[in-house]
Structure 1
Amino acid sequence: MNVLFDNCTAPLFATTLDGFVTHFGHRAFHIKDVLGLPQGRHSADVDWIKHLQNSADTWIFISGDGRVLKNPAERAALRSAGLHGFILAPAYQKTAMNQVAATLIWKWPEIEGVTKLVAAPSMHEIPINRMSKLRSLPL
Protein backbone atom coordinates (compact mmCIF):
# COMPACT_ATOMS: atom_id res chain seq x y z
CA MET A 1 0.00 0.00 0.00
CA ASN A 2 1.18 3.51 -0.84
CA VAL A 3 0.33 6.68 1.07
CA LEU A 4 0.04 10.06 -0.62
CA PHE A 5 0.44 13.22 1.45
CA ASP A 6 -1.12 16.18 -0.37
CA ASN A 7 0.06 19.79 -0.57
CA CYS A 8 -1.69 20.65 2.70
CA THR A 9 0.88 18.56 4.56
CA ALA A 10 4.60 18.99 5.05
CA PRO A 11 6.94 16.75 3.00
CA LEU A 12 8.55 15.85 6.34
CA PHE A 13 5.49 13.78 7.28
CA ALA A 14 5.77 11.61 4.17
CA THR A 15 9.50 11.10 4.67
CA THR A 16 9.07 10.19 8.32
CA LEU A 17 6.19 7.79 7.74
CA ASP A 18 7.99 6.23 4.78
CA GLY A 19 10.97 5.43 6.98
CA PHE A 20 8.64 3.57 9.34
CA VAL A 21 6.28 1.79 6.91
CA THR A 22 8.87 0.64 4.37
CA HIS A 23 9.76 -2.11 6.82
CA PHE A 24 6.18 -3.42 6.42
CA GLY A 25 6.22 -3.30 2.60
CA HIS A 26 4.41 0.04 2.29
CA ARG A 27 5.60 3.40 0.96
CA ALA A 28 4.71 7.02 1.72
CA PHE A 29 5.15 9.89 -0.74
CA HIS A 30 4.55 13.60 -0.67
CA ILE A 31 2.70 14.84 -3.75
CA LYS A 32 5.88 16.58 -4.91
CA ASP A 33 7.54 13.16 -5.29
CA VAL A 34 4.75 11.36 -7.18
CA LEU A 35 5.68 10.80 -10.81
CA GLY A 36 3.19 11.13 -13.63
CA LEU A 37 0.96 13.88 -12.23
CA PRO A 38 -0.12 16.28 -15.00
CA GLN A 39 1.20 19.40 -13.22
CA GLY A 40 3.42 17.76 -10.62
CA ARG A 41 2.94 19.07 -7.12
CA HIS A 42 0.62 21.77 -8.47
CA SER A 43 -1.93 19.27 -9.78
CA ALA A 44 -5.51 19.92 -8.76
CA ASP A 45 -7.04 17.57 -6.20
CA VAL A 46 -9.25 15.98 -8.86
CA ASP A 47 -6.15 15.25 -10.96
CA TRP A 48 -4.18 13.47 -8.25
CA ILE A 49 -7.29 11.57 -7.18
CA LYS A 50 -7.72 10.28 -10.76
CA HIS A 51 -4.00 9.49 -10.92
CA LEU A 52 -4.26 7.31 -7.79
CA GLN A 53 -7.43 5.69 -9.12
CA ASN A 54 -5.72 4.72 -12.38
CA SER A 55 -2.59 3.38 -10.68
CA ALA A 56 -2.00 -0.35 -10.51
CA ASP A 57 -0.90 0.11 -6.88
CA THR A 58 -3.14 0.41 -3.84
CA TRP A 59 -3.20 3.99 -2.53
CA ILE A 60 -4.57 5.87 0.47
CA PHE A 61 -4.11 9.58 1.08
CA ILE A 62 -3.59 11.88 4.03
CA SER A 63 -4.59 15.53 3.82
CA GLY A 64 -4.46 18.49 6.13
CA ASP A 65 -7.43 20.10 4.40
CA GLY A 66 -10.93 18.96 5.27
CA ARG A 67 -12.35 21.20 2.53
CA VAL A 68 -11.78 18.32 0.10
CA LEU A 69 -15.07 16.98 1.49
CA LYS A 70 -16.96 20.21 0.79
CA ASN A 71 -16.18 20.60 -2.90
CA PRO A 72 -18.79 18.62 -4.91
CA ALA A 73 -16.38 17.74 -7.75
CA GLU A 74 -13.72 16.50 -5.35
CA ARG A 75 -16.26 14.49 -3.32
CA ALA A 76 -17.54 12.83 -6.48
CA ALA A 77 -13.98 12.05 -7.60
CA LEU A 78 -13.17 10.56 -4.19
CA ARG A 79 -16.28 8.38 -4.23
CA SER A 80 -15.62 7.07 -7.73
CA ALA A 81 -11.89 6.53 -7.08
CA GLY A 82 -12.57 4.09 -4.25
CA LEU A 83 -9.84 5.48 -2.01
CA HIS A 84 -9.37 5.51 1.73
CA GLY A 85 -8.74 9.08 2.83
CA PHE A 86 -7.54 10.45 6.14
CA ILE A 87 -7.88 14.08 7.18
CA LEU A 88 -5.72 15.56 9.91
CA ALA A 89 -7.84 17.16 12.64
CA PRO A 90 -7.69 21.00 12.69
CA ALA A 91 -5.58 20.90 15.88
CA TYR A 92 -2.63 19.64 13.80
CA GLN A 93 -2.19 23.13 12.33
CA LYS A 94 -1.05 24.43 15.72
CA THR A 95 1.07 21.41 16.62
CA ALA A 96 4.84 21.16 16.24
CA MET A 97 5.93 19.14 13.22
CA ASN A 98 7.84 16.59 15.29
CA GLN A 99 4.70 15.88 17.33
CA VAL A 100 2.56 15.50 14.19
CA ALA A 101 5.10 13.09 12.68
CA ALA A 102 5.19 11.09 15.92
CA THR A 103 1.39 10.94 16.06
CA LEU A 104 1.19 9.68 12.47
CA ILE A 105 3.56 6.83 13.34
CA TRP A 106 1.61 6.17 16.53
CA LYS A 107 -1.65 6.03 14.52
CA TRP A 108 -0.26 3.92 11.65
CA PRO A 109 -1.54 0.55 12.96
CA GLU A 110 -5.02 2.03 13.32
CA ILE A 111 -4.88 3.61 9.84
CA GLU A 112 -3.74 0.34 8.32
CA GLY A 113 -6.43 -1.55 10.23
CA VAL A 114 -9.20 0.70 8.93
CA THR A 115 -8.08 0.14 5.34
CA LYS A 116 -8.39 -3.62 5.88
CA LEU A 117 -11.72 -3.59 7.73
CA VAL A 118 -13.70 -0.86 5.98
CA ALA A 119 -14.59 -1.01 2.30
CA ALA A 120 -13.38 1.89 0.19
CA PRO A 121 -14.27 4.63 -0.39
CA SER A 122 -14.00 5.89 3.15
CA MET A 123 -12.87 9.01 4.96
CA HIS A 124 -11.61 9.30 8.52
CA GLU A 125 -10.26 12.08 10.68
CA ILE A 126 -6.97 11.48 12.49
CA PRO A 127 -7.31 13.06 15.95
CA ILE A 128 -4.41 14.87 17.59
CA ASN A 129 -4.89 12.95 20.82
CA ARG A 130 -3.08 9.62 20.55
CA MET A 131 -5.64 7.86 22.73
CA SER A 132 -8.61 8.97 20.62
CA LYS A 133 -9.86 6.71 17.85
CA LEU A 134 -10.09 7.64 14.19
CA ARG A 135 -13.41 9.30 13.46
CA SER A 136 -15.44 8.30 10.41
CA LEU A 137 -16.37 11.22 8.14
CA PRO A 138 -19.25 11.28 5.66
CA LEU A 139 -18.22 10.95 2.05
Structure 2
Amino acid sequence: MKILFDNCTAPVMASTLDGFIGSFGHRAFHMKDVPGFPNGRHSSDLEWIDYLRAQSEIWVFVSDDGRILKNRAERAALRGAKLHGFVLAAAYERTPLHQVAATIVWKWPEIERVTELIAPPSMHEIPIGKSVKLRSLPL
Protein backbone atom coordinates (compact mmCIF):
# COMPACT_ATOMS: atom_id res chain seq x y z
CA MET A 1 0.00 0.00 0.00
CA LYS A 2 1.16 3.53 -0.76
CA ILE A 3 0.10 6.59 1.20
CA LEU A 4 -0.05 10.05 -0.36
CA PHE A 5 0.17 13.15 1.82
CA ASP A 6 -1.28 16.03 -0.17
CA ASN A 7 -0.02 19.62 -0.35
CA CYS A 8 -2.06 20.60 2.71
CA THR A 9 0.28 18.50 4.85
CA ALA A 10 3.93 19.07 5.72
CA PRO A 11 6.41 16.91 3.76
CA VAL A 12 7.95 15.71 7.04
CA MET A 13 4.71 13.86 7.79
CA ALA A 14 5.23 11.54 4.84
CA SER A 15 8.90 10.89 5.58
CA THR A 16 8.12 10.20 9.26
CA LEU A 17 5.39 7.70 8.44
CA ASP A 18 7.46 6.18 5.62
CA GLY A 19 10.26 5.41 8.06
CA PHE A 20 7.83 3.62 10.34
CA ILE A 21 5.70 1.69 7.83
CA GLY A 22 8.54 0.70 5.49
CA SER A 23 9.22 -2.36 7.61
CA PHE A 24 5.63 -3.51 6.91
CA GLY A 25 6.10 -3.27 3.14
CA HIS A 26 4.22 0.02 2.76
CA ARG A 27 5.44 3.42 1.55
CA ALA A 28 4.43 7.00 2.29
CA PHE A 29 5.06 9.92 -0.05
CA HIS A 30 4.44 13.62 0.03
CA MET A 31 2.87 14.95 -3.15
CA LYS A 32 6.10 16.71 -4.07
CA ASP A 33 7.92 13.36 -4.21
CA VAL A 34 5.54 11.43 -6.49
CA PRO A 35 6.75 11.36 -10.08
CA GLY A 36 4.11 11.37 -12.78
CA PHE A 37 1.64 13.92 -11.50
CA PRO A 38 0.46 16.02 -14.48
CA ASN A 39 1.60 19.30 -12.91
CA GLY A 40 3.97 17.92 -10.28
CA ARG A 41 3.41 19.26 -6.80
CA HIS A 42 1.02 21.85 -8.22
CA SER A 43 -1.46 19.28 -9.55
CA SER A 44 -5.05 20.04 -8.62
CA ASP A 45 -7.02 17.69 -6.38
CA LEU A 46 -8.85 16.35 -9.44
CA GLU A 47 -5.54 15.67 -11.22
CA TRP A 48 -3.90 13.74 -8.38
CA ILE A 49 -7.11 11.82 -7.67
CA ASP A 50 -7.29 10.78 -11.32
CA TYR A 51 -3.60 9.82 -11.26
CA LEU A 52 -4.07 7.58 -8.22
CA ARG A 53 -7.19 6.03 -9.78
CA ALA A 54 -5.14 4.95 -12.80
CA GLN A 55 -2.38 3.27 -10.75
CA SER A 56 -2.24 -0.48 -10.27
CA GLU A 57 -1.03 -0.18 -6.65
CA ILE A 58 -3.34 0.43 -3.71
CA TRP A 59 -3.19 4.11 -2.76
CA VAL A 60 -4.52 5.85 0.34
CA PHE A 61 -4.36 9.60 0.90
CA VAL A 62 -4.06 11.88 3.92
CA SER A 63 -5.11 15.52 3.78
CA ASP A 64 -5.32 18.41 6.19
CA ASP A 65 -8.03 20.01 4.05
CA GLY A 66 -11.55 18.91 4.92
CA ARG A 67 -12.85 21.10 2.10
CA ILE A 68 -12.08 18.24 -0.29
CA LEU A 69 -15.41 16.79 0.83
CA LYS A 70 -17.33 19.99 0.13
CA ASN A 71 -16.53 20.24 -3.58
CA ARG A 72 -19.03 18.21 -5.62
CA ALA A 73 -16.56 17.38 -8.43
CA GLU A 74 -13.85 16.27 -6.01
CA ARG A 75 -16.27 14.08 -4.05
CA ALA A 76 -17.42 12.43 -7.27
CA ALA A 77 -13.80 11.89 -8.33
CA LEU A 78 -12.97 10.35 -4.94
CA ARG A 79 -15.91 7.98 -5.18
CA GLY A 80 -14.95 7.03 -8.73
CA ALA A 81 -11.29 6.49 -7.83
CA LYS A 82 -12.25 4.09 -5.02
CA LEU A 83 -9.67 5.49 -2.62
CA HIS A 84 -9.45 5.38 1.13
CA GLY A 85 -9.01 8.93 2.39
CA PHE A 86 -8.10 10.28 5.80
CA VAL A 87 -8.60 13.90 6.81
CA LEU A 88 -6.87 15.39 9.83
CA ALA A 89 -9.27 16.87 12.38
CA ALA A 90 -9.38 20.67 12.57
CA ALA A 91 -7.57 20.62 15.94
CA TYR A 92 -4.36 19.59 14.17
CA GLU A 93 -3.99 23.12 12.82
CA ARG A 94 -3.02 24.31 16.31
CA THR A 95 -0.87 21.30 17.17
CA PRO A 96 2.94 21.24 16.96
CA LEU A 97 4.19 19.21 14.00
CA HIS A 98 6.00 16.61 16.09
CA GLN A 99 2.78 15.83 17.95
CA VAL A 100 0.84 15.51 14.68
CA ALA A 101 3.43 13.08 13.32
CA ALA A 102 3.41 11.08 16.56
CA THR A 103 -0.38 10.83 16.50
CA ILE A 104 -0.44 9.59 12.90
CA VAL A 105 2.17 6.94 13.74
CA TRP A 106 0.11 6.04 16.83
CA LYS A 107 -3.03 5.74 14.67
CA TRP A 108 -1.32 3.71 11.91
CA PRO A 109 -2.62 0.28 13.05
CA GLU A 110 -6.17 1.63 13.07
CA ILE A 111 -5.71 3.29 9.66
CA GLU A 112 -4.33 0.06 8.23
CA ARG A 113 -7.19 -1.96 9.73
CA VAL A 114 -9.79 0.36 8.17
CA THR A 115 -8.24 -0.06 4.73
CA GLU A 116 -8.33 -3.84 5.12
CA LEU A 117 -11.88 -4.17 6.48
CA ILE A 118 -13.80 -1.51 4.55
CA ALA A 119 -14.15 -1.58 0.79
CA PRO A 120 -13.15 1.68 -0.89
CA PRO A 121 -14.18 4.37 -1.35
CA SER A 122 -14.17 5.57 2.24
CA MET A 123 -13.30 8.71 4.15
CA HIS A 124 -12.34 8.98 7.80
CA GLU A 125 -11.27 11.76 10.10
CA ILE A 126 -8.12 11.23 12.15
CA PRO A 127 -8.95 12.70 15.57
CA ILE A 128 -6.42 14.57 17.67
CA GLY A 129 -6.76 12.29 20.71
CA LYS A 130 -4.85 9.03 20.75
CA SER A 131 -7.66 7.23 22.54
CA VAL A 132 -10.39 8.49 20.17
CA LYS A 133 -11.33 6.21 17.27
CA LEU A 134 -11.30 7.25 13.61
CA ARG A 135 -14.57 8.85 12.59
CA SER A 136 -16.28 7.80 9.37
CA LEU A 137 -17.15 10.71 7.06
CA PRO A 138 -19.82 10.76 4.36
CA LEU A 139 -18.47 10.57 0.84
Task: Output the CA distance in 1 between the equivalents of 2:73 and 2:33.
Answer: 24
How much has 1:61 moved relative to structure 2? 0.1
In structure 1, C-alpha distance between the alignment counterparts of 2:103 and 2:32, rounded to whole Å? 22
Pairwise CA RMSD of aligned residues? 0.3
User: How many Å separate the matches in 2 of 1:57 and 1:113?
Assistant: 18
In 1, Cα distance between the equivalents of 2:33 and 2:51? 13
Partner residue, 1:35: 35
- Cα distance in 2 for residues equivalent to 1:13 and 1:91: 16
Q: What aligned pairs does 1:1-139 form with structure 2 within 5 A after superposition?
A: 1-139=1-139
- SS of the residue corresponding to residue 129 of structure 2 reads coil
Q: How many residues align?
A: 139
Name the TM-score, length of structure 2 as normaliser.
0.99
The whole-number CA distance in structure 1 between the counterparts of 2:57 and 2:84 is 13
| Cα distance in 1 for residues equivalent to 2:71 and 2:44 | 12
1:88 Cα offset (Å): 0.1
Letter in 2 for 1:83: L
Where does the alignment leave 5 or more consecutive residues of structure 2 unmatched? Answer: none
Structure 1: gaps of 5 or more residues: none
2:37 is matched by which residue type in structure 1?
A: L
TM-score (norm 1): 0.99
Percent sequence identity over aligned pairs: 66
CA distance in 1, matches of 2:114, 2:19: 21
3-state secondary structure, aligned to 1:76: helix
Q: Offset of 1:44 from its aligned partner?
A: 0.2
Q: Render the CA deviation track for 1:30-88: whole Å, top value 9, x for unaligned.
A: 00001100100000000000100101111000000000000001000000000000000
Equivalent position amino acid for 1:72 in 2:
R
Residues in 1 aligned to 2:57 and 2:115: alpha-carbon distance in whole angstroms: 14
Structure 1 segments of 4+ aligned residues over 6 angstroms from their partners: none
